[in-house]
Amino acid sequence: MARYLSIAAALAATGAFAITPEQMLSAPRRSTATPNSSGEIALFSVSEYSFENQTRSAAWQLLNLQTGEITDSGLSASDVKEAVWLPGTDTGIIYINGTNEETPGGVTIWIGDIRSPSESKLVASLGAPFSGLRVANTSSGDLHFLVNSLAYPNGTAYPNGTAYPNGTAYNPESVPEPRYSGRLYENIYPRHWDHWLTKERYAVFGGALLANSSYGLANTALRNLLQGIEFNVTRPESPVQPFGGSTDYDISPDGNVFAFLNKATHLNKAEFTASYIYLGPFDGSEIAAPFNGPDSEASAGGHKGASGSPTFSPDGFKLAYTQLDGDYYESDRSKLYVVDISTDSGKVGVSSWKPLAPEWDRSVGSIHWAPDSESIFVSAEDYAITRAFNIPVSAEETFVPERLTNVTSVSDFSVLPDSSLLVSASSVWTSRDFYVLKADGTQNVLFSSLDLDEALAGLGSHTYEEFFYTGSLGSELHSLVVKPSNFVKNKTYPLAYIIHGGPQGSNGNVWSTGWNFQVWADQGYIVVAPNPTGSTGFGQYLTDAIQGNWGSYPYEDIVLGWEYVKENLSYVDTENGIVAGASYGGYMTNWIQGHDLGDEFKAIVTHDGISNTLGAYSSEELWFLRHDFNGTIYDEGATYEKFNPINHIANWSTPQFVVHNSLDYRLPESNGLALFNILQSKGIPSRFLNFPDESHGVLNVENLLFWHTEIFNWINHYSGVGGKLDNVPIGE
Ligand SMILES: *[C@@H]1O[C@H](CO)[C@@H](O)[C@H](O)[C@H]1NC(C)=O
Ligand SMILES: *[C@@H]1O[C@H](CO)[C@@H](O)[C@H](O)[C@H]1NC(C)=O
Ligand SMILES: *[C@@H]1O[C@H](CO)[C@@H](O)[C@H](O)[C@H]1NC(C)=O
Ligand SMILES: *[C@@H]1O[C@H](CO)[C@@H](O)[C@H](O)[C@H]1NC(C)=O
Ligand SMILES: *[C@@H]1O[C@H](CO)[C@@H](O)[C@H](O)[C@H]1NC(C)=O
Ligand SMILES: *[C@@H]1O[C@H](CO)[C@@H](O)[C@H](O)[C@H]1NC(C)=O
Ligand SMILES: *[C@@H]1O[C@H](CO)[C@@H](O)[C@H](O)[C@H]1NC(C)=O
Ligand SMILES: *[C@@H]1O[C@H](CO)[C@@H](O)[C@H](O)[C@H]1NC(C)=O
Ligand SMILES: *[C@@H]1O[C@H](CO)[C@@H](O)[C@H](O)[C@H]1NC(C)=O
Ligand SMILES: *[C@@H]1O[C@H](CO)[C@@H](O)[C@H](O)[C@H]1NC(C)=O
Ligand SMILES: *[C@@H]1O[C@H](CO)[C@@H](O)[C@H](O)[C@H]1NC(C)=O
Ligand SMILES: *[C@@H]1O[C@H](CO)[C@@H](O)[C@H](O)[C@H]1NC(C)=O
């Protein structure tokens, strides 16, 4: 591999254009696009924010897959929360309307035609905020659908003693005010990500819309498909929280079988990641059961970790899914599996369990079957971009699929009837590209946000580069470089060194509204974003090598990367650089503060990062620390101590900006407060930014603008690019 490679002709941009945080945050955001069954049109949503009016506007739009023409669909985005094509029809749609006039807090299901959406008809009134619609058309013409919602546990009753039917969907708007606010726990996991756990758990529900009665709902209550599953430690829940959604379950094309993901019921869910795929008949004649759980062939083969993306083949005979090996690791290689489904004599069963290309050293993300059910298209992270690959069902163990896409990152894709792919992509320079990738490799670019969005005008791949350097473990490490839009060759720009989170994650060539490298670069920096030990997408060895080594190999890699930049990139001013990171990246900035590299920066930005590894045990997903620190805090205390940033306070001296949010239950704000308190009492210039309504990241656009403004003021002041610190923080 060349030591230095530039993927785009290094054009110096001509204009003085630069993208500001405000432009980036107000620019349109587009969802991925879903094609109709013939692959002629695709539906997607777009929304944009006006800082002037403090309003967000949204629309559902149609993309013509031959011409790239975009038109408004006529579907109201304020009403329609999600929409899918109605299987078996040309232009039919079925959608969830967020308003239910009968039951406040509920939703409604409507069926219509995309050519005349205003004539859609309400077919079902659901008494809770269901989402995640998946639909199958059965041979009788009835539609079978799946949705999910929080559900009451068995035996729940109103305070007056009136019982709810067991397992019914939970509608927060119909719940009477409780008499007290205390929350009592005796199981691990009082809270998760950004919320305290209550008694309710998510469940997948099934319902039928009958063809013979204008698609009226068969029974008024939907069936909770998790009911009846036995457990002795962890109550069944699907989708798996906090990020699970409709890709955690699927319905067979004939509507007769469902599959969903559920965490291991015999393991506690804070210390284990294991989850299995459950299957059951839609008619409810059997209770859903897992096929890759403890007594399965998969388990016997050592595959015991988190499962994902159960996906039926178009012919309905197979199911593909992913699974990790380790039962308390979340960043193991995600491998692809396929099983045959049988429904002989009404009983749902599986056979011919088979790993596909298990030696391929990449982690499988999304799964999309080819129309002939003979191969599976998957996405996987590979050298800092997510690419599409194709794996035949007949693949041998040693099969290595070819890269089908490059340059930009695949956000998601759909397979068209002729096996070409409709790809929704992004990169450092475009928030959304739509293109069709033909089987012969040719690409038909239909749309690029660069061409349409004023805020993005002038961006391009000319600011993007990457380099490779030798890391602490002897392997070649990858790093991104993003230059300012108005970069000129004979100038130097201070370094903005950005460390990614995870640590099992990556700095990738993607568009982001949180850490948008072009926006940082356009403040007047060269962004260098390395992928040190722990990073994903470069092979499992690099990812796994971080275990028990949070402050060693990655730190050394980050030092080596910084030295590489100093020696090789003449346009980077390393004398006036800054370093920034969130989550693990925040931990690393705290580690850098206490080590020699900290002296090389003018300022540090730490977002929701560990300052005290012992305090980090107030986290929630305890498997994470247990894995990464090589054991629990009581068995492996020495590893926690060895890599504890707070043990190096004596060396702290660099001005530091600390962000820590109140709803961050992954790493409670006490970690950021301790850091800030120490900086302040040591007299080190520092600021503390807290969002009471944000979790581990920042989502609200107005909050994001404040986040950018204050961080940029800080770094621009210390790096000398011109920030002002004349705003008035909340004082003494
Ligand atoms: C803000 O609202 C005003 C008045 O309705 C409108 O004219 C203007 O176009 C809006 N601005 C944006 C950016 O949406
Ligand atoms: C469902 O499929 C049946 C049989 O293939 C077909 O006749 C019917 O039109 C389809 N209905 C819908 C709403 O897709
Ligand atoms: C897909 O959409 C196009 C454009 O509305 C329509 O003409 C076509 O019939 C649809 N095809 C199918 C099979 O859904
Ligand atoms: C959504 O539901 C509301 C209340 O029933 C109705 O007024 C509105 O027209 C519906 N919108 C759509 C797009 O179905
Ligand atoms: C509901 O659950 C409770 C508690 O598990 C149980 O006692 C009751 O029998 C269940 N009700 C029905 C209708 O099964
Ligand atoms: C108990 O409370 C619920 C919710 O307020 C109400 O719907 C129900 O009618 C009440 N039952 C009785 C017997 O009062
Ligand atoms: C409609 O079909 C369902 C089964 O799919 C059946 O139970 C019901 O009796 C039918 N109703 C009418 C009005 O034909
Ligand atoms: C909850 O109640 C349903 C019936 O209402 C039953 O099928 C199920 O087994 C019960 N689950 C537990 C865990 O008691
Ligand atoms: C739960 O059940 C499993 C078997 O499915 C058993 O191995 C385990 O010991 C049980 N755990 C508890 C806490 O009862
Ligand atoms: C990579 O992208 C270039 C265009 O930038 C294209 O010519 C080439 O065919 C692509 N290669 C693959 C494997 O997609
Ligand atoms: C950089 O080059 C431009 C023209 O290429 C010239 O106008 C400018 O003076 C140069 N600046 C420096 C600092 O040399
Ligand atoms: C500790 O880390 C080493 C090296 O990564 C690994 O081989 C070992 O299995 C780990 N031990 C535990 C208890 O996780």
> So what's the pLDDT on residue 199?
92
| Residues in contact with ligand 10 (CB, 6 Å cut-off) | 403, 405-407, 441
pLDDT in tens, 305-364: 999 999 999 999 999 999 999 999 999 999 999 999 998 877 999 999 999 999 999 999
Q: Which residues line ligand 9 (CB under 6 A)?
A: 232-233, 266
Q: Using one digit for the tens of pLDDT, what is the confidence trace for 465-480? A: 999 999 999 999 999 9
In terms of C-beta density within 10 A (0-12 exposed, 13-18 middle, 19 or more buried), how is residue 668 classed? Answer: buried
Asked whether the predicted pLDDT for residue 7 surpasses 50, the reply is no
What is the 58 CA–ligand 4 centroid distance (Å)?
A: 16
The pair of three-digit structure tokens given for residue 237, joined into one six-digit string:
């829940």
The gap from C-alpha 326 to its chain's centroid, in whole angstroms, comes to: 21
Confidence (pLDDT) at 163? 80
Encoded tokens for 330 = 């979340």
Confirm or reject: Cβ of 40 under 6 Å from ligand 3: yes
Is 392:373 a contact under the CB 8 Å cutoff?
no
Ligand 4 pocket residue status of 257, Cβ below 6 Å:
no
Condensed to tens digits (0 to 9), the pLDDT of residues 123-135 reads: 999 999 999 999 9
Query: What is the per-residue pLDDT for 488?
Result: 95
Pick the atom of ligand 10 nearest to 403's CA. 13
Q: What is the CA radius of gyration of the chain?
A: 26
The percent of residues in the chain predicted with pLDDT above 70, rounded, is 97
Is residue 115 within 8 Å of residue 86, measured between CB atoms? no
CA separation, residue 449 to residues 45, 434, 435 (Å) = 14, 9, 12
User: Alpha-carbon distance 384 to 537, whole Å?
Assistant: 6
Model confidence at 302: pLDDT above 70: yes
Buried (b) or exposed (e) across 447-482, using 16+ Cβ within 10 A?
bbbbeebebbebbbbbbbbbbbbebbeeeebbbbbb
Atom of ligand 4 nearest to the CA of 117: 13
| 88 Cβ closer than 6 Å to some ligand 2 atom | yes
CB 264 within 8 A of CB 274: yes
Judge whether 455 and 75 are in contact, CB under 8 Å: no
Higher-pLDDT residue of 156, 61:
61
Residue 544: name the closest of 469, 633, 628 by CA: 628
For the residues 642-655, what does the mean pLDDT come to?
A: 98
CA dist 663 and 384 (Å) reads: 30
Q: What six digits make up the tokens of 184?
A: 């009592």
Q: Cα(698) to centroid of ligand 3, in Å?
A: 40
56 CA → ligand 1 middle, Å: 11
State which amino acid sits at residue 57. Answer: S
171 C-beta neighbours (distance < 10 Å), count: 21
Contact status, residue 478 vs residue 538, Cβ threshold 8 Å: yes
CA of residue 76 relative to chain centroid, distance: 26
Q: What is the pLDDT of residues 424-475, one digit of tens each?
A: 999 999 999 999 999 999 999 999 999 999 999 889 999 999 999 999 999 9
Q: Is the pLDDT of residue 12 over 70?
A: no
Residue 3 has pLDDT above 80, yes or no: no
Closest C-alpha to ligand 10, atom 2: 406
For the chain, how many residues are written?
732
Yes or no: say if 23 and 515 are a contact pair by the CB < 8 Å rule: no
**Closest C-alpha to ligand 3, atom 14:** 90
Active-site residue, selected from the candidate residues 309, 573, 664, 719:
664
State yes or no: is 664 an active-site residue.
Answer: yes
Q: Which residues of 11-28 are buried (b: 16+ CB within 10 A; e: fewer)?
A: eebeeeebbbbbbbbbbb
- Regarding pTM above 0.85, the answer is yes
Domains of the chain: 239-404 (2.120.10.30), 458-719 (3.40.50.1820)
Residue 616 near residue 671 (C-beta atoms within 8 A): yes
Is 144 noted as a catalytic residue in this protein?
no
Could you tell me the distance, in angstroms and rounded to a whole number, from the CA of residue 154 to the centre of ligand 5?
A: 6
Q: Atom 7 in ligand 4: which residue has the minimum CA distance?
A: 99
Mean pLDDT score of the chain = 94
**Band of the pLDDT at 15, cuts 50, 70, 90?**
very low
- The rounded Å distance from CA 30 to ligand 4 centre is 23
Task: Kindly give the distance from the C-alpha atom of residue 46 to the centroid of ligand 4, in angstroms, as a whole number.
Answer: 19
Can you read off the two tokens belonging to residue 354?
Answer: 């088979």
Q: CA-CA distance, 97 to 100, in Å (whole number)? A: 8
pLDDT tier at 723, thresholds 50, 70, 90: confident
Better-scored residue on pLDDT, 226 or 162: 226
Query: Quick check: CB of 141 below 6 Å from ligand 2?
Result: yes
Which residue type occupies 519?
V
pLDDT, tens digit, 9 for 90 and up, residues 80-114: 999 999 988 889 999 999 999 999 999 999 999 99
